[in-house]
Each structure stands twice: as C-alpha cells, then as structure tokens.
Amino acid sequence: MPGPLDGVVVVDLSRVVAGPQATMTLADLGARVIKVEQPGTGDETRGWGPPFADGVSTYYLSVNRNKESVELDLKSAAGRDVLTRLVERADVLVENFRTGVMDRLGFGVARLHELNPALVILSITGFGHDGPEGGRPGYDAIVQGEAGIMSVTGPPGTPSKVGLSIADILAAGNGVAGVLAALYERTRTGRGSVVRTSLLASVVGAHMFQGTRWTVAGDVPESVGNDHPSIAPYGTFACADGVLQIGVANQGLWRRFAPLAGLDPDDPRYATIPDRASRRAELTAEIEKALAGGTRAEWLARLDAAGVPAGSIRSIDEVYEWAQTRSQGLVVEVDHPELGRIELPGPPIRFDGAPAREHTAPPLLGEHTAAVMAWLEEDE
C-alpha cells in the first residue's frame, strides 16, 4: 500500500541493525527498499541465534520487514555492474560499512553522485567517518561503553548495558531524519546530499541532562539504579506483592501523592524536589512502608485515581499481549514463505486517516533477485 514515501527507491547496502532499522523505517513509510546481500550468506544476522524459528533467525526478522532481497557479489564485475544500474535508478542509498569500504568497492561519494547527482546517501558508522578514531568498528555494546551509557545505567557501581541495541536504534532514527531532510532539500536544489551519523554521535546526542550535568555543572553522573538522578520519588518501589514504578516529577504531583503514602506534603524534609532528592533513601523507606499495606493492583488503582503517574513492570511477552500495545498497531501479522503467518513488532508511526498497511515478511536471501533484475531491464 502507498505511504508518504511511495515512489522513493532505496538501495540498502547495510547489514546487522543500525542500517537495516533505518531502511525498515523508510519501507514502513512507503519506500521501495532493495536489500543487497552477499551471495550464500547474506546479512550476518541471518545466522544470529538462538532463538531460531525453524531455522530462521528471529533477530533478522526484527529489522527487515517490507524489503526485497537481491544477492550481489560486490567484489565481482557483474555485481558492481548491477549495483551501478541500481544506483542510477535510486533515490537513496544506505550503507553502514567501515570508513573506506565504499571507496574500495569503487562506489565512493564522488562516483555515486557521478552516476546519480540526485542520490541521497546515508552513511552510518560506529564512531564517525573521520577523526582520530573514525575507522574503528562499532558494535552496539562497545559503543554503549565508550559513549557513557553504561556508566549511568544499572545498580550503583555496576556499569550495565541497556538490554536493547539502543545505540543502533538511535543511529537509525537519526539517519532516517537526515534522509527525510535531504529528500526535502532535493525538492529545491535537485541534488542529493550525504547524510552522516554514527552510533557514538547518536548516543552522545541523547545524553540530555546527563550531558549538561558535566558540561555546565562539572558534575560527573553516576548510575543510580532505577531512581531518577535529579527527581524523587521517581523510580521503582516495593509493595505487598512485587514492585511498581511511580513518577512524582513536580510539586503538583507531590501534593497528590504524599497523602496516599501517609506523608505531609509540607514536611520540610521533603518540601521541594532538591529536598526529596537529597533524602532519597529516607523517603523511599517511608514510601515502601506505606506501600507494603497493599498489592500492586490496589496501589496502581489508587495512584491512577489520584492522577499520579505509575505503572507495572511488564515482561516482553506481557507487552505483546497487552491490549494497549495491540491497539496502537505495534503488533503486525505477515505471511512468511517458510514460517507461515507470524507476528512481528510493528512500526511506531501512524498517520491519521490512513488505512493500516499490509506488511510483507522479511525476505528470504535473494528472494527478489529475478524480479529486481527484470525491473532494471524494463527501460533498457
């Protein structure tokens, strides 16, 4: 079904997560994405597991819906010839090779724009395409450490990785934003441009208040577990049958929350956000003493009635069975040629008035080679 990017052709030379996530987003928005893969092996994530579903990597399935797969050996003359023809027909090219690989393949920026001056090029690297460490390979976990996420995540004193490929996903989102801006600019100039982002840039760009704690206040952030480093009470709290999350982010919420926990909102120990943050352990103990008198369900109901933000901590399976998740189109069904009808995580963007689109399954390796070759020959 058509989307906002209907008619846009994307040549996808990327693999693993950051690039494929970006091109999947473009495909969700209606672009035609042609995924170019190494013959015989394809994207590395095809072999990543467990878990596998009848031999198919669930990792690969997570970031490759709505694409076509073409097998091309880019080290061969024949493969480079086909890529040349694809570039001439494309609007966007996406790659996440290490710096210099595209040049060695014979498809550096100058050559790509010689073939197609209107081509928008998205290049995603680990640490940036230049600078003293620009050539370093950058997998998500490594960048999480190098870019500071691990130092502010997890229990105090225990650097911890986020349980998702967050550096990759942030880079993909930044890459898509850059591509959309470049396509818009092209409507005025008629020329394509080069969009560059990296896992490092994307993580540092997401530091937000943790970054300004250092750059402005000279304070080095440290991990504080599930608590918020600046606001209290804001985090995870124990009740009679488990834990729940509560977010008291301003004075109005504090005045609604404190009586529920048996506290005086005007108690001078806890009167302001800085007061509460400085006495976090003491405040948490008093709150959990009150919460011990009720179950999670009871407390969530009370907090909701008072307008205090709160929530449970769901496992992944619970998230996908949650009616709210499904109501937002965050679970989609596709027909996979080997697995049959399967469910995948759905796109996070919707457009008012647009019907729900039919999604296609992540392609088998080389599934569309013949069809794409026929398309290239149509106008030749």
Report the helix count and the strand count for the chain, using DSSP H and E: 16, 13
Which H or E run includes 52?
Answer: strand 52-53
Question: Which residues, including other chains, have CB under 8 Å from residue 139's CB and lie 6 or more apart?
Answer: 16, 126
CB 308 within 8 A of CB 260: yes
Cα separation, 91 vs 117, in Å, equals 10
CB burial of residue 268 (10 Å; 0-12, 13-18, 19+)? exposed
Q: Which of 287, 289, 315 is nearest to 303 (CA)?
A: 287
Cα separation, 204 vs 182, in Å, equals 23
Which H or E run includes 115?
Answer: helix 109-115
Residue 373 CB coordination number (10 Å): 12
Cα separation, 78 vs 165, in Å, equals 35
Q: Which of 114, 101, 91 is nearest to 34 (CA)?
A: 91
Active-site annotation holds for 168: yes
CA atoms within 13 A on the CB side of 131: 11
CB 151 within 8 A of CB 221: yes
From 28, 140, 168, 227, active-site residue: 168
> 3-class SS at 185?
helix
As a 3-state breakdown, the chain gives helix, strand, coil percent values, each rounded to 5, of: 40, 15, 45
Q: Are strands 120-125 and 32-37 parallel, antiparallel or unpaired?
A: unpaired
Which residue numbers are catalytic? 168
